Every structure is written in C-alpha cells, then in structure tokens.
Amino acid sequence: MSYALREALAAFRRAPVLTGLASAMVGMALYVVGLFGLVAYNLQTSLALLEERVEVVAYLRDDVRTEEIELAVAELREIPEVRGVEYVSKDRALEDARAEFPDFQQVFADLEVNPLPASLEVELQAGSRTEENVDRIAQVASAFPFVEEVTYGEEWVDRLFTLRRIGALTALIVGTAFAVVAALIIGTALRIAIFARRDEIYIMRLVGAKDAFVRRPFLLEGALAGLLGGALALALTWLTFRGVDSFLFTIAWIPAAWAGAGVAVAVVFGVAASSLAVRRHLREVT
Amino acid sequence: MIELTRVSKEYPRRGAALRDISFQVGKGEFAFLTGHSGSGKSTTLRLIHMSEKPSRGRIRVAGYDSERISPREIWKVRRRVGFVFQDFRLLPGRTALENVAFALEVTGTPGKLIVPKAQRLLSQVGLAPKAGALVNELSGGEQQRVAVARALANEPVILLADEPTGNLDERATKGIVDLFFQLNAMGMAVLMATHDLELMRRRSHARVLELDEGRLVFDSANPDDSGPDSPTGRAS
Ligand SMILES: Nc1ncnc2c1ncn2[C@@H]1O[C@H](COP(=O)(O)OP(=O)(O)OP(=O)(O)O)[C@@H](O)[C@H]1O
Ligand SMILES: [Mg+2]
C-alpha cells in the first residue's frame, strides 16, 4: 500500500470521531443537496409534463369553410417552432368532452345543438415552448378572420418558468451554504490531523520529501471523507425517497447519473477543501 | 560546496542575526563553526539548509543558489545536505530502523530497498545491533547515530551539524566526532557548529570559523583576514 493511502487510513483510525464527524458533515451537506436533487428532479418531470400541454388553441367560428381551415393549417405549419397542427371538429370536441367528463353524460345527451366550437390545436416543438414563441404563434392564429378566440394558458407558461427559476436559486443558495460549512469542518479536521503529524511533517521536509508528497495523505484523507460523506448523503436521500414514496405520494428516484455525479462531486469537494486547508495549515508547521 | 557571499540576516524586531558574512567550505572539507551563544551559528546552518532566506547576499550550496531556487525545489537541497541537531529530532515510539526507513520512504526509495538500505546505514554508523530498539530507549550517543544515519539516507555531499554533541558525555562526543571525521574521510563536507573548545583543540587540523554577534571574526583558512576585534577564545 502506498505511504499516502496508509497514512490517510491511519488518520481515520487515529481519530475516528473527528474524521467521522467530518464525513458526517459532508454527508449532511450533500444530503440537503440530494433532497433538492430529488425535489428538482420530480419537479422537472412534472414541469415537463405540464410543458407538454403548453399549446395554442384557436377556436373557429361556426361558418368557417374547409379550404380556409386547410390554408390556416398550412400557414401555421410553416412556423419552425410548430411541431404539428390538429383540426378538431365540432363533433370531435363534443366526443372529447363526453369522454373527459363522464359525470355530465346526461347534460351532453340532452343537447339539441352542439355548443362547442371547432378548433385548431397547435403543438410546439419540445425546445421551443417559451413565452415569446407562444405569444407569436397566438398572434399569427388570431390574425385569421375566422378565428374567434385564441387561448394558450399564458399564466401557466409564466408560472412554470418562475417556479423553475426559484427552485434553482434556492438550491444554489442552500447548497452553497452547506458546502461552505462542510469545507470549514474538513479544514478543521485536517488542521488537527496536520497538527497531530507535525513532527513527521517536519522530518519529511528536513530529509527532502517533496511538498506534493507531504500533502498527498491529507488530500487523500479529504477524498475519503468526501467519498464517505457522498455515500452517506446518497443513503439518506434514498431512505427519504423510500419513505415519501411509500407513505406520502409517488415520486421518482433521481437518475443514476445524478447519484454518481453527486458522489463524484463529494470526492472532488473533499480534495478541494483539503487542498485549501493543507496549503494554509502546512505553513503553520515548520 | 558551500559558498556564502555577503550574507546578512535580520529578524523583525530582533535586529541583525548575521552581518555581511562571506566564506566557503570546499568539497570534502571539515569545518567547525564556533562562537558565543547567540552569535548566529544556528542561523547560518539554517540558511545553508535553505529553511530561511538571507535578508541580503547569496548562498550557494551543492549547486543550488538561494537567489534562484523556488520554494518548490528546496527538497533537492535537502537531499544533498544532511542535517543533525543537538536534540536528535527522531520520531519517538519508533525503532532506530523505522526512523531511518521513514526518511528513505518519504523521499521515494522503492519499497523493497527501504529496509536493506536502512540496515546498511545503521551499520555504517555502528548501530546495526540496535536496529530494532525503540529510539527513546537508546542512549543519547546512540540516538545521535540514528540521526546521522537518517541524515545520510539520500547520500548527501554535505553534512551540517548544530551542536551535535551538546547533549552527550565525553565518550559519546568522541564517538560522534570520530564518526564525522570518518564520513569526512570518505569525501563528505562537514560543517559542525560547536562551542566545545576542547574538542576543536584536539582536532586542530580542522578548519575553524568563528562568529561573534553575527560577524565572521575568524577563519583559520585566512587568519590574517579577520576583523579588527580579533577573536579571543578560539582554538588554534
Ligand atoms: N527565528 C528567529 N526569530 C527572531 N530572532 C532569531 C530567530 N532565530 C535566531 N534569532 C536571533 O538571532 C541571533 C542568533 O541566533 P542563533 O540561534 O543563530 O545563535 P547561536 O549561535 O546558534 O546560539 P546558541 O549557541 O545559543 O545556539 C540571536 O540573537 C537570536 O535571538
Ligand atoms: Mg544554536
């Protein structure tokens, strides 16, 4: 086993409480990030579903002629952000309404005339569901003289994007705060580890060990603390997921790539935090 | 080997520890560095080992230049220059062999070679029988031998010693100084700080450099060149 790995493991054995605490803190910090990941992922999936439904619907007057409809469909299809345009006749609108509201069967059956208008449902390309595009397409549609009204759930579009922005910002702020706390604890743990080994560090420098060699066990210790913390955070996040999924409501587990990235971030974070701490505290021992 | 050119060292609020010192120690030379307490002996050795930078002047050691070397390269100097101290500075709770092996390991000696090489170094300083003993259970003289073996780990060309016999009795002192002369006879330059006049008198063929209040006041290599306030208690 290499000197650095042996020493890093020895540091864990020598001060299990302290290094355990450092790992636990990294774990707690990343657990919060993990929770946000879980929420963000599920929010994103729901948002994507909602987004799917962002479409522009143009209701047509009853006296519209077929050629006019065909012309309008063709023109709307020309717009690059448009994925498809579907014509829904008055009859189909009624059928759909019946299917969607079975409780009102009787009401629909009693109707003498069909009160529902025909419509054109304009679906947008997956990446183009932005406020501007939706607005523009709605304008094009309402410009046709035979279009009575255009709806496109504008408030939904706005809310959707605001929600996502708030979510991202909150995750960023809370995640950063916890990361700073974790870095401070890693720094303290390493400072104590360096202090405990100051005689050895002194001898290493005296006899000509390279600086990188002196630092390596501490960086490795940081990486190990990060790895343990990342694993702990993952376990806690999974337990939370299981709990919510079994007892509250159905949610989805984050993709494996996210989990893997989270642990990798934990390791990199451990190395980076210890690198900063080691640089600073090695100067204190001479 | 060692060349100091107009070297001064000042510590904040302590004033000058060394004032305008110049001397050279050649390849394979043996030199005593002497002077009263506080005259700057330890400071001189630390500067030569490049633990600190001179405030003014330049130091060249084993081909490295204090003005050019970057902090990241100091390890190169340390491998060319061994250093032993009055208080040994061994790692307690470890054996003699482990102390020497530690120096070999942390300077990149391949794993398989560490123990045989540590054993060879210990027999070179006459301590092979005590290789397995904990250093805190060894006598002062034996501990200093371990420290010398450790200093030799990277086959240095220079050995610096800061009052290496300060904690030793007469017999142990003789043993260590004999060891230094033996190493010197094999081609190693030795610079040894001491204020043991008796010791220097008995090795009168060796070079003597004397410091007083941070000034070089006597150099047996150029006895005429000493300052106006010539030395009083030196060996010659
Ligand atoms: N790190 C330091 N900070 C401030 N002053 C220092 C430092 N090191 C040495 N000095 C001062 O420099 C002067 C020379 O000290 P140095 O230790 O070199 O003397 P010395 O000749 O080795 O003495 P001794 O025989 O007692 O070991 C002293 O006045 C000392 O107080
Ligand atoms: Mg001294």
Q: Are residues B69 and B165 in the same domain?
A: yes
What is the largest distance, in Å, between two alpha-carbon atoms of chain A?
101
Q: Are residues A42 and A83 in the same domain?
A: no
Q: Are residues B31 and B120 in the same domain?
A: no
> Domain range spanning residue B212?
1-80+157-236
Residue ranges in chain A modelled with pLDDT below 50: none
The CATH number assigned to the domain holding A84 equals 3.30.70.3040
**SS3 of residue A220 by DSSP:** helix
pLDDT, residue B6, reads: 97
B37 lines ligand 1 (CB under 6 A): yes
Task: Give the nearest chain A residue to B52 (CA atoms).
Answer: A286
Q: Are residues A177 and A197 in the same domain?
A: yes
Q: Are residues B43 and B74 in the same domain?
A: yes
B21 lines ligand 1 (CB under 6 A): no
Cβ pair A207:B107 closer than 8 A: yes
Q: Are residues A166 and A42 in the same domain?
A: yes
B40 lines ligand 1 (CB under 6 A): yes
Residue to mutate among B49, B64, B83, B106, with most A CBs inside 10 A, is B106
Cα A34 from Cα A30, distance rounded (Å): 6
ipTM for the predicted complex: 0.91
Q: Are residues B14 and B105 in the same domain?
A: no
C-beta of residue B25 within 8 angstroms of C-beta of residue B207? yes
> Domain range spanning residue A144?
55-151
Residue pLDDT, tens place only, A96-121: 888 877 777 777 777 778 888 888 88
Distance in Å, alpha carbon of A246 to nearest chain B alpha carbon = 54
Contact residues, A window 199-218, toward B, CB-based 8 Å cutoff: 199-200, 202-211, 213-214
> Residue B208 phi/psi, 5° resolution?
-125, 130
B17 lines ligand 1 (CB under 6 A): yes
C-beta of residue A208 within 8 angstroms of C-beta of residue B78? yes
The dihedral formed by the CA atoms of B89, B95, B96 and B97, expressed in degrees to the nearest 10: -130
B43 lines ligand 1 (CB under 6 A): yes
Amino acid at B6: R
Torsion sign across C-alpha atoms A266, A268, A271, A276: negative
Task: Give all strands of the β-sheet with A147-151 in edge-to-edge order.
Answer: A82-88, A119-124, A55-60, A147-151
Q: Are residues A127 and A192 in the same domain?
A: no
Q: Are residues B188 and B236 in the same domain?
A: yes
Residue pLDDT, tens place only, A253-275: 988 998 999 899 889 988 998 89
pLDDT, residue B81, reads: 97
Q: Are residues A194 and A277 in the same domain?
A: yes
- Please identify, among B105, B121, B155, the residue that sits at the C-terminal boundary of a domain: B155
Amino acid at A189: A
- Please identify, among A151, A185, A218, the residue that sits at the C-terminal boundary of a domain: A151
Q: Are residues B146 and B176 in the same domain?
A: no
pLDDT, residue A113, reads: 80
Amino acid at A79: I
Residues from chain B that touch A1, judged by Cβ atoms under 8 A, are none
Q: Are residues B151 and B165 in the same domain?
A: no
Q: Are residues B76 and B166 in the same domain?
A: yes
Average pLDDT per block of 10 residues along chain B, 236 residues long: 96 92 96 96 97 95 95 95 97 96 96 96 96 96 98 97 95 96 96 93 92 95 63 45
pLDDT, residue A156, reads: 64
Q: Are residues A131 and A179 in the same domain?
A: no
Q: Mutate which of B4, B34, B41 to test ligand 1's pocket (most atoms within 8 Å of Cβ)?
A: B41
Amino acid at A160: L
- Please identify, among A131, A151, A171, the residue that sits at the C-terminal boundary of a domain: A151
Domain count, chain A: 2
Q: Are residues B43 and B150 in the same domain?
A: no
Q: Are residues A165 and A277 in the same domain?
A: yes
CA Rg value for chain B: 18
C-beta of residue B219 within 8 angstroms of C-beta of residue B209? yes
Task: Give the nearest chain A residue to B99 (CA atoms).
Answer: A203
Is the pTM value of this prediction over 0.80?
no
pLDDT, residue B232, reads: 46
Q: Are residues A102 and A197 in the same domain?
A: no
> Which residues make beta-bridge pairs with B83?
B160
The CATH number assigned to the domain holding B205 equals 3.40.50.300
Domain count, chain B: 2
Q: Are residues A195 and A244 in the same domain?
A: yes
C-beta of residue B78 within 8 angstroms of C-beta of residue A211? no
- Please identify, among B155, B175, B210, the residue that sits at the C-terminal boundary of a domain: B155
pLDDT, residue A153, reads: 66
Closest by CA to A143, choosing from A53, A51, A79, A52, is A79
